[in-house]
Amino acid sequence: MNLEETLKKIELPDEAAKESAVHHWDSIAHPLHSLGKLEDVIVQIAGIQGTPRVSFDKKGLITMCADNGVVEEGVTQTGQEVTAAVAENFLTEKATAAILCRNAHAEIFPIDIGICRDTKVRSCKIAYGTKNFTKGPAMSREEAIRAIEVGIQIAEERAADGYRLLATGEMGIGNTTTSSAIASVLLDRPVEDMTGRGAGLTTEGLARKINAIKRGIELNQPDPSDPIDVLAKVGGFDIAGMVGVYLGGAALHILVVIDGFISCVAALTAMRICPTAAEYMIASHVSKEPAAKLLLAALGKEAFLTCDMCLGEGTGAVVLFPILDMALDVYNTMSTFEEDGIEQYEHLV
């Protein structure tokens, strides 16, 4: 599907299926709604899948990998060579996200959507990294749309293979800079509020990062009413790819788990393109990045976990997978009040 076709297919989840899932939870022999968000998420998935018979046996993490030209401005502690090295480690279970996927019985699908050199990772490369947005747009609008459509394509492939639960992740040196730039524009907040130290910047490095973002926004004048314009002018290919996964997941009736700060920025961009897409997302954790809570509030999401994580790659999203498995197991296998011969709880006003 291209972007236009995808947007036409996104519809609200099935309310009747959600009501049936609530009824089933209420029939289970436990105090009503005593599992809190674990119950809510299964109800949400019922609406997404259009049936109270919820299942997600196959789970996958899609990790978009790309480099960012703004690294030239000294906004990172390490060089771009790290992007390719970590991306290839996803293939050999030497990277954190891959190890977590193994433990969570999930598959990882790393995608080279814009790494600055050729790699062993599957290539859907738009270009060899974005341009330095302090000197002009990070990418063209056409490139931004192509990158979104890569994410849609990968979501389609996973759906065809039977995956009913996906998560987003990313790898790209400099991508907290691009994320902070997008967040500042879309939320109309000062760059200082949106920008953290990323992977360990010094105070001097943080000042350079903030200055670079300010210069990029001033030069390119991204239009906050046009999320694709913002993405193209100060974003990254990895973020655009994740936007496509969110939109593709919504069109295909698949729940997509948001990771941390960068994934949240992609989720907000997707929601600004199509507000209904937010119905097909959940937030896994509260990133340690300073703007994380502001982004979650803008998305209207409450995260499940608070672990002070800020690694990225999809790590926080994958940590949530076993919790979702446990919630579904209770939903599908626990006995009911009727089966146990216990008087059923009632909702009291």
Over 80: is that where the pLDDT of 198 sits?
A: no
Q: What is the CATH number of the domain that holds 31?
A: 1.10.1610.10
* pLDDT, position 349: 66
Q: What is the CATH number of the domain that holds 170?
A: 3.40.50.10210
The answer to whether residue 348 sits within a structural domain is no
Return the structure tokens found at 173.
Answer: 């040196």
The answer to whether residue 345 sits within a structural domain is no
127/251 same-domain check: yes
Q: Tell me what the pLDDT averaged over the chain comes to.
A: 95
Task: Give the CB-side neighbour count of residue 215, counting CA atoms within 13 A.
Answer: 14
Burial class, 18, CB count within 10 angstroms (exposed 0-12 / middle 13-18 / buried 19+): buried
184/286 same-domain check: yes
Q: Which residues contact 5 (CB under 8 A, 6 or more apart)?
A: none
198/302 same-domain check: yes
Q: How far apart are CA 318 and CA 167, in angstroms?
A: 7
Q: How confident is the model at residue 28 (pLDDT cuts 50, 70, 90)?
A: very high
79/36 same-domain check: no
84/218 same-domain check: yes
- Render pLDDT for 115-145 as a digit per residue (tens, 0 to 9): 999 999 999 999 999 999 999 999 999 999 9
**Of 48 and 336, which is predicted with more confidence?**
48
The answer to whether residue 218 sits within a structural domain is yes
The answer to whether residue 346 sits within a structural domain is no
34/153 same-domain check: no
Dihedral angle computed from the Cα positions of residues 175, 180, 186 and 190, in that order, rounded to the nearest 10 degrees? -170
Identified catalytic residue from 19, 313, 339, 346: 313
- Render pLDDT for 161-197 as a digit per residue (tens, 0 to 9): 999 999 999 999 999 999 999 999 999 999 999 998 7
- Render pLDDT for 76-127 as a digit per residue (tens, 0 to 9): 888 899 999 999 999 999 999 999 999 999 999 999 999 999 999 999 999 9
The answer to whether residue 196 sits within a structural domain is yes
13/123 same-domain check: no
The answer to whether residue 133 sits within a structural domain is yes
CB 242 within 8 A of CB 151: yes
Over 90: is that where the pLDDT of 346 sits?
A: no
Q: What is the mean pLDDT of residues 215-225?
A: 98
Residue ranges making up the domain that contains 10 = 3-53+331-340
Q: How far apart are CA 291 and CA 256, in angstroms?
A: 21
47/78 same-domain check: no
pTM over 0.95: yes
Q: What is the mean pLDDT of residues 256-284?
A: 98
H or E element, residue 63: strand 59-66
335/204 same-domain check: no
Query: Would residue 170 show up in a list of annotated catalytic residues for this protein?
Result: no
* Residue 166, helix vs strand vs coil: strand
The answer to whether residue 28 sits within a structural domain is yes
The answer to whether residue 349 sits within a structural domain is no
28/116 same-domain check: no
27/97 same-domain check: no
96/113 same-domain check: yes
Q: How far apart are CA 173 and CA 80, in angstroms?
A: 6
Question: What's the total number of domains in the chain?
Answer: 2
